[in-house]
Amino acid sequence: MMPAPTLRHLADLDPKMISVGDPLKLALAAGPADGSPTSVFFEIWEPGGGQPANSHADSTEIFVFLSGVGRAYSDEHVVDVGPGDVLILPPGSVHRIVNTSPSQRLYSVTIMAVDAGALPGGFAALVSDGTSAGFDEVDLATLTRARHD
């Protein structure tokens, strides 16, 4: 018999900051601990916030933007992103995404195709070890909007 599928509700997820005070929250939806080589996150950038330049040597990283506006830097390339855009970053690219809005958050669903690398448990483990940040009412409304339309 096959194992049952896993269903997680937004309320079951625990958004985290990798470092205290980060302008970015990540909520792990699925990853290596679930038996998957792929990790999936909800990412939320505060207005004007961005993560430091980073790279994943063994993984394509895909961002599906849900709400807000931002700018993505990947090596020498720069593109503006917004709702409905899909950004695909090649393995090994040095990249950074910045929320360019002074007043609204930037939201994405992010897929790390192969969550491996130098960390045991991959990037998902780094996020899981972060500081709980919680979803607020704006996050919940934004991330569940399609469910109520």
The domain tally of the chain equals 1
> Per DSSP, what are the bridge partners of residue 88?
62
Residue 92 lies in a domain: yes
Q: Does residue 45 fall inside a structural domain?
A: yes
Range of the domain at 71: 20-121
| Mean confidence (pLDDT) of the chain | 91
Predicted local confidence at residue 139, as pLDDT: 96
Residue 81, strand partner residues: 70
Burial of 71 (0-12, 13-18, 19+ CB in 10 A): middle
Structure tokens at 136: 């607020």
> Does 111 reside within a domain?
yes
* Cβ contact 105:143 at 8 Å: no
CB atoms within 10 A of CB 9: 7
The pTM (predicted TM-score) of the whole model is 0.92
Residues 109 and 44: their CA atoms lie apart, in Å, by: 9
Task: Report yes or no on 148 lying in a domain.
Answer: no
Q: Is residue 132 part of a domain?
A: no
Task: Tell me the CATH number at 90.
Answer: 2.60.120.10
Instruction: Give the pLDDT confidence of 22-75 residue by residue, as tens digits.
Output: 899 999 999 888 888 899 999 999 999 998 899 988 889 999 999 999 999 999
| In-domain check, residue 127 | no
Q: Stretch 126-141: mean pLDDT, rounded?
A: 93
Domain assignment present for residue 53? The answer is: yes
115 pLDDT higher than 60: yes
Q: Is residue 134 part of a domain?
A: no
